């Protein structure tokens, strides 16, 4: 259907964008001649650089009205026939409406993050599967897409590779693992001092140094990890998104909670150990079957409430549990 013009609405966050990539890939496979655009928050747009499935990346700076207006103008100029809303929020649903697309598809009210968003859709999808990746696939399957494989098309730039190589060489590091102590919501986080203890145990066991992945707002967490790790110290360097992709792809493994770097690393094929408490790994866990999850929470403790302090179920995870999971994950290949 060469006349079809799709726009994917998934502006944030990092892990959610990663989970939407296979749906875009399946859409391209089923509609090879279609125009497929993607509306995304400006700060996350590097993840779509070089993506063969996307024709145009429409960026939006949501920090000011001028940026929003510019994004809406681009969106309307695309003259899309179908808007696919994977975000399920009022703002994404309204943007789909403002795009002028006559067909607007998203999850039904029960399965949308904000139920009222479904009022803006002309077609609603009731997901039957558990994992977010599979649920996103159900949206594109509702219009006839039949993707054969789950693909995560991610391109790591040569410039980012070179930067990471120079940075690690300056620290005398060749082989390394990555620890990511952040998590967006405090309730999903594992204490930073335990990441420090974990680094000490893993460095002693494998002879590799760790690199701490963190955002500008999480520098204090990274410094706590470094302080508690002792010698050898983990590397604390701030990497932008393209550089983070290069860093994760070359890592021996990553340990993180349910957060963007975990899902990005898993999509890049890096071995992952995920630390889970309030969120359900069956729904939000690393998608690679070989990756492992450490979780002590009972199913009734599952919640997506965004509390500031680490959940009791996260505090119940021990350093020894995580160290054992890393060992098993590496033995899995």
Q: Give the pLDDT score at 188.
A: 96
Domain boundaries, the chain: 5-141, 158-331
Q: Give the pLDDT score at 310.
A: 95
Place of tokens 């998934």: 10
CA distance 288 to 122: 33
Domains 5-141 and 158-331 share a fold: yes
Q: Give the pLDDT score at 40.
A: 98
Separation in Å, CA 68 to CA 85, 156, 168, 208, 219: 17, 28, 38, 45, 29
Q: Give the pLDDT score at 146.
A: 85
What the block records as the tokens of 59 is: 């960026």
Q: Are 266 and 252 in contact (CB under 8 A)?
A: no
Dihedral angle over CA of 289, 290, 294, 300, nearest 10: 10
Q: Are 252 and 246 in contact (CB under 8 A)?
A: no
Q: Give the pLDDT score at 1.
A: 44
Q: E-assigned strands of 270-325?
A: 272-276, 292-295
pTM of this structure: 0.96
Per residue of the chain (333 residues), give pLDDT as tens: 447 999 999 999 999 999 999 999 999 999 999 999 999 999 999 999 999 999 999 999 988 999 999 999 999 999 999 999 999 999 999 999 999 999 999 999 999 999 999 999 999 999 999 999 999 999 999 999 987 789 999 999 999 999 999 999 999 999 999 999 998 899 999 999 999 999 999 999 999 999 999 999 999 999 999 999 999 999 999 999 999 999 999 999 999 999 999 999 999 999 999 999 999 999 999 999 999 999 999 989 999 999 999 999 999 999 999 999 999 999 998
* 3-state secondary structure at position 332: coil
Q: Are 154 and 268 in contact (CB under 8 A)?
A: yes
Give the architecture-level CATH label for domain 158-331.
3-Layer(aba) Sandwich (3.40)
CA distance 129 to 135: 6
**Homologous superfamily in CATH for domain 5-141:** Glycogen Phosphorylase B; (3.40.50.2000)
């Amino acid at each position: 259907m060469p006349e079809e013009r799709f726009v994917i609405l998934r502006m944030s966050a990092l892990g959610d964008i990663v989970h939407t990539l296979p749906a875009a890939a399946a859409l391209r496979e089923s509609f090879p001649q279609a125009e497929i655009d993607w509306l995304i928050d400006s700060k996350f747009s590097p993840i779509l650089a070089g993506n063969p499935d996307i024709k145009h990346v429409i960026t939006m700076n949501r920090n000011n009205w001028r940026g929003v207006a510019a994004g809406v103008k681009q969106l309307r100029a695309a003259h899309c026939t179908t808007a696919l809303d994977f975000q399920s929020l009022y703002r994404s649903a309204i943007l789909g409406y403002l795009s002028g697309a006559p067909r607007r598809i998203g999850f039904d009210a029960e399965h949308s993050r904000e139920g009222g968003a479904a009022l803006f859709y002309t077609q609603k999808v009731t997901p039957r599967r558990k994992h977010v990746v599979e649920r996103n696939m159900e949206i594109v399957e509702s219009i006839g897409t039949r993707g054969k494989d789950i693909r995560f098309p991610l391109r790591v730039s040569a410039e980012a590779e070179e930067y990471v190589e120079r940075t690690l060489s300056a620290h005398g590091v060749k082989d390394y693992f990555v620890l990511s102590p952040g998590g967006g919501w405090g309730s999903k986080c594992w204490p930073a001092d335990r990441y420090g203890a974990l680094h000490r145990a893993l460095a002693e066991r494998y002879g590799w140094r760790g690199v701490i992945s963190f955002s500008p707002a999480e520098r204090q967490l990274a410094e706590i990890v470094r302080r508690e790790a002792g010698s050898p110290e983990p590397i604390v360097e701030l990497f932008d998104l393209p550089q983070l992709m290069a860093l994760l792809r070359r890592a021996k493994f990553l340990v993180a909670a349910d957060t963007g770097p975990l899902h990005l690393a898993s999509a890049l094929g890096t071995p992952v150990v995920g630390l889970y408490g309030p969120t359900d790994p069956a729904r939000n866990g690393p998608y690679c079957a070989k990756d492992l999850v450490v979780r002590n929470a009972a199913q009734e403790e599952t919640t997506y409430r965004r509390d500031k302090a680490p959940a009791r179920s996260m505090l119940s995870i021990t350093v020894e549990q995580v160290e054992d999971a890393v060992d098993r994950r590496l033995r899995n290949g």
